[in-house]
Amino acid sequence: MEDHRPRRGPPDLSAAASDQDPQIRDLAEKYGISIDEVQQLIATLGHDSTELEAAAKKLGIEGEEGSPDRDR
């Protein structure tokens, strides 16, 4: 009789809470934007760190100009 073990692959991290991802949290804190805003940037731009940094920086600057008491 064969041993039928389930096939194992890399873990599925898509269900992990992204607010627990240190890179997302760090990017949000660095530029003073929310985790939701970082998630929107990732959905739009993908995972290119250079593009994400530039967009987060721009979003953080625009947020400062538009709302002086924006939550950080």
Query: Is residue 8, in this structure, part of any structural domain at all?
Result: no
Burial readout 29-39 (b: 16 or more C-beta within 10 A, e: otherwise): eebbbebebbe
Report pLDDT for 12. Answer: 46
Q: What percent of the chain has pLDDT over 70?
A: 61
Q: What average pLDDT does the structure give for the chain?
A: 76
Q: Domain span at residue 48?
A: 18-66
Is residue 13 one of the residues assigned to a domain?
no
Instruction: Flag whether pLDDT at 65 surpasses 70.
Output: no
d(CA 4, CA 31): 50
Number of domains in the chain: 1
**pLDDT digit string (tens) for 24-43?**
999 999 999 999 999 999 99
Is the whole model's pTM more than 0.95, yes or no?
Answer: no
The answer to whether residue 6 sits within a structural domain is no
> pLDDT-derived band of residue 58, with 50, 70 and 90 as boundaries?
very high
